[in-house]
A and B are shown apart, each in its own frame.
Chain A
Amino acid sequence: MSGAFRTARGGLVDRDRPLRFRFDGVEYEGLQGDTLASALLANGVHHVASSIRLGRPRGVFAAGVEEPNALVQIEEPFPEPMLPATTVELYDGLVARGLRGRGRLADRPDPARYDATHAHCDVLVVGAGPAGLAAAAVAASSGARVIVVDDQPRPGGSLLGAAEHLDWVASVAGGLRAAPEVRLLTRTTAFGYYDDNHVVAVERRTNHLGAQAPAHRSRERVWRIRARHVVLATGAHERSLAFADNDRPGVMLAGAAQTYLRRYGVRPGRRAVVLTTNDSAYAVARDLHAAGVEIAAVADLRDSPGAGRAPHGAELLPGWAVAGVTGADRISAVTLRRLAGGAFTGPELRLDADLLLVSGGWNPVGALYGQAGGRLAYDDGLGAFRPDGGCRQALEVAGSVAGTYTLKGCLAEGAAAGARAAEATGFRPGEPDLPETADPEVTPGVAVWTLPGDPATSLVDLQRDVTVADIARATGTGMRSAEHVKRYTTAGTAHDQGRTSGTLTSGIVAEMLGVNVGDLGTTTFRPPYAPVSFAALAGRDRGMRFDPVRVTALHAWHVAAGALFENVGQWKRPWYYPRDGEDMAAAVLRECRAAREGVAMMDASTLGKIDVRGADAAVFLDRLYTNMISTLKPGAIRYGVMCRPDGMVLDDGTVIRLAEDRFLVTTTTGNAAVILDWMEEWLQTEWPQLRVYCTSVTEQWATVALVGPESREVLASLAPGLDVSRDGFGFMTWRDTTVAGLDARVCRISFSGELAYEINVSWWDALALWEALAERGITPYGTQTMHVLRAEKGYPIIGQDTDGTVTPHDLGLGWAVSRTKADFIGKRSFTRTDTARTDRKQLVGLLPDGGELLPEGAHLVAAAEPPLTALGHVTSSYHSAALGRTFALALIEGGRDLVGRTVWATLDDGLAPVTITGAVLYDPEGARRDG
């Protein structure tokens, strides 16, 4: 038995497939086709959760995504927080519990897969209710590529809840599924509508299978759909109105009750009172009555209900309303009174009831329309906001989202919208095949927002526990806009995004302010329409696939050698190579000693390399670099600095002149793409007349730095054809030769101050070169040692010792700024008042008096006693093997004039005195460069 409240027959549930589940520790049985909410109601469970702020008991209020109350935590098969029970399809073995407010994320990794698809179509139809299906059928008949998305497990929309015209639904859906150019996606929620008809949806592919979900199938899939035309057939949600204790379990939207009865075969109660402002609740009352639910009374807020017809035996009370509700965990009685002039009058009528069905009218689901840039305008006849038709994107709205609430009207509008969408994309639609439907006479509803009663228990936003009293407090403090009231009260900010409460909030605020609700308007609609898991948004882009990983040709060797790696941009660079038992400090000191006293080598392949060629290449580089490049001779190398037009250092590197019309420039590792883009931008947008071509060759050349006083002997032995003598191969020149039998270009460049060479070979030959060097027992070193060696020489790293506010002069690189060139990028800025100041922050060395290793980023102050005047900060800080102590580089105001002075570094536990020195701490004469 799947519950005492299950009807004997009917509904779209499979009575031959009982499902066992557990809720709040109790075993229940439901049926295939149930939601968790319908299965609980079938078992007579109304009280599902507690409210977040007030802790009030809460029941099932709605039957779909608009549910504000019945929030549950899924525990098994995999934890998932905060789902409305109305959207959880029941499966065998489901374990869940009701929530008070927040849920709990899983504390173990999610084993499920998530993925994403990009899709393109002529016509996208959002919603597969009567309007959406009619639109899709007509658009598909034209041959257009059509995608239909709907959040339910099967198409039909409101027809599922009414359980009518299901043959037509099946026939249309079958036709859509069979059409080669049509894709019908169920369990798929369109949650974002972005520029140029870019609609993002999430498809829940295995959530409904529970533990039976196949491991190979992705659990959720994000669809990124670019549609030429969109039909929004997103329907309408019923709303409640604010009255005292309107949140008690047993109070339910009238339309939801009909859905539970007709779609799920569940009687939501035994005896009901109906409170309505419009015709729609009458059909619900008649349906429930026919299914054996006693209808005690229908209170209609209209004085003349017109076409409304209460079921047999129920009292019809025009102009009456709910004055009170009895029962906390579940209602037991409803008190009705006549309403006149906004106040209750006359005797009370108290009726025993376990169900209070409310219809305060219907709100078109305009969220996607609003996200698309459209406005929602208030329709007085409708008593609701609906799309104003002025959205600039290529879209149609059809059915109840457009404010059309009769089935006949929805079908006709859907068919017409589908035809317009097809025609707009160049297709000829066929004639629609629509079911015969009645055209009932409709008596207009009345917009009522509140009933007299305690404002502190009259709930407006059930999920956020916002009451009429809260809104009165907001307007009382002077708030006059719906947006301000939303932020002050949090109404509409819960994960139901105010689907049932948004219009109500606007209506109540307008009433309190005495303004027209249409002038007040709605709050802004923003994606996502419904909650989306981060896992779905991340898709497969997690772990290793989060970002590309770039490795050099020598990576496997580094790994085998036990290197630890540092991320530099997307590159993995060896950080240091610890030997047995060594910590980082010991390894780096050893590597530094090898480079300063013997010979060491580093994989420098990640350096950005750009081939610049063309007749105007020299002119071009003269404009980009601060120093003169055009005077460089082929065969020679020059260090160069690039600035932005504001004079701040952008990058530095070496320029190798290969020929009159060809250069190879290097960039810092992290800046390679930036500099290539920079060159392209100037060439394309400012100097298109220059005949220059730039090509990235970073991954064509592998580079090995061979460093140390013994490097000349090593190179000589490996390159017998090369004159390695001091005069034969001078500093800042290059030679093409053969090294270890490999074609190579050797540059005499030093980033350490030692005699050093950079050997460039084809990426393919890198391992052969490296192994030939390694066989000679040469010590490999990583980026940490490189940093120490360069810092001992005062060589700045752009991006570490600079931050975009530092000029070449600030770095002590004034020598690299040409005085003779007429112009170069940045030149004009060096004479700007601010840039020419002499008290700018300048790069200096620091020697901590107490031998501390200063933290990089530590602030430097002028004195140990307050006031602590900030002078600058530490940019680099290391242990030096060569100096036998710690040292640092820092940017300090007017620092070069403060050499020899003591300033104070701010540490976690106080201040430490440090002495300012020049930036070059090791071999300031440059005696070691030539070996």
Chain B
Amino acid sequence: MMLIPCPWCGPRDESEFHYGGQAGVAYPDDPGALTDAEWARYLFFRDNPKGPFRERWSHTAGCRRWFSLVRDTVTNEIVA
């Protein structure tokens, strides 16, 4: 059970949060201008590193705010 630092509420149990996958995957400015391959990359492709990973979390059982953090996927250490 990780202790996740919510920027608004402070450290809380992992079970209060909802995981949101890789951070920084922005909705494209003009999806219509993208090729099928580019759009597929936005829809379906995500990094899966062994080590530090910037990812999104939502404090669903608390303040309900989304935020990003960097977690080491090997140790679960939250490094930033």
Contacts and interface: CB of A to CB of B under 8 A. Distances in A.
Given A677-B18, A685-B66, A823 B2 contact: no
Nearest to A836: B36
A424 to B, nearest CB: 16
A640 to B, nearest CB: 20
B31 A195 contact: no
Given A645-B42, A681-B20, A828-B39, A198 B58 contact: no
B36 A226 contact: no
A828 B1 contact: no
B39 A832 contact: yes
B46 interface: no
Q: Which of A196, A373, A827 has the most CB of B within 10 A?
A: A196
Contact of A828 (B14, B18, B31): B31
Nearest to B76: A195
Given A195-B1, A684-B66, A823-B31, A392 B39 contact: no
A423 interface: no
B75 A645 contact: no
B2 A828 contact: no
B31 A832 contact: no
B40 A677 contact: no
Contacts of B56: 685
Contacts, number: 56
A194 interface: yes
B34 to A, nearest CB: 7
Contacts of A224: 1
Contact of B3 (A226, A373, A680, A827): A226
B23 to A, nearest CB: 9
Contacts of A829: 39, 43
Nearest to A687: B27
A631 interface: no
Interface string B13-36: 110001010000011001110101
B1 A681 contact: no
A373 B2 CA distance: 13
A822 B31 CA distance: 10
B6 to A, nearest CB: 13
Contacts of B26: 686
Contacts of A171: none
A684 B1 contact: no
A477 interface: no
Interface string A610-648: 000000000000000000000000000000000001100
B43 A681 contact: no
A681 B31 contact: no
B63 to A, nearest CB: 11
A623 to B, nearest CB: 10
A833 interface: yes
A833 B36 contact: yes
Given A373-B75, A645-B43, A677 B32 contact: no
Interface in B33-53: 34, 36, 39-40, 42-44
B66 to A, nearest CB: 5
B60 interface: yes
Given A196-B3, A645-B43, A681 B77 contact: no
B40 A832 contact: yes
B22 to A, nearest CB: 12
Contacts of A680: 58, 64, 66
A645 B27 contact: yes
A630 to B, nearest CB: 19
Interface in A763-797: none
A827 B66 contact: no
Nearest to A832: B36
Given A686-B27, A823-B32, A646 B66 contact: no
A198 B3 contact: yes
Contacts of B32: 822-823, 827-828
A833 B40 CA distance: 11
Contact of B2 (A196, A646, A684, A822): A196
A392 B77 contact: yes
A828 B27 CA distance: 12
A681 B2 contact: no
A646 B44 CA distance: 9
A196 B13 CA distance: 10
A675 to B, nearest CB: 14
A195 B2 contact: yes
A823 B2 CA distance: 39
A680 B20 CA distance: 13
Interface string A643-685: 0011000000000000000000000000000000100110011
Nearest to A688: B66
Nearest to A835: B36
B58 A195 contact: no
Interface string A209-238: 000000000000000101000000000000
Contacts of A686: 26-27
Contacts of B31: 823, 827-828
B8 to A, nearest CB: 12
B76 to A, nearest CB: 5
B80 to A, nearest CB: 16
A695 to B, nearest CB: 12
Nearest to A194: B1
Interface string A188-210: 00000011101000000000000
Nearest to A196: B3
A684 B76 contact: no
Nearest to B26: A686
A569 to B, nearest CB: 16
B58 to A, nearest CB: 7
A645 B31 CA distance: 10
A681 B58 contact: yes
Contacts of A645: 27, 42-43
Closest 5 CB pairs of A and B: A828-B31, A196-B3, A198-B1, A195-B2, A684-B66
Given A195-B3, A195-B76, A686-B27, 11 more contacts: A195-B1, A645-B43, A677-B60, A681-B58, A685-B56, A823-B31, A827-B31, A828-B31, A828-B32, A832-B39, A832-B40
12 contacts: A195-B3, A198-B3, A198-B13, A373-B75, A645-B42, A677-B58, A680-B58, A680-B66, A681-B58, A684-B65, A822-B32, A827-B32
Interface of A: 194-196, 198, 224, 226, 373, 392, 645-646, 677, 680-681, 684-686, 822-823, 827-829, 832-833
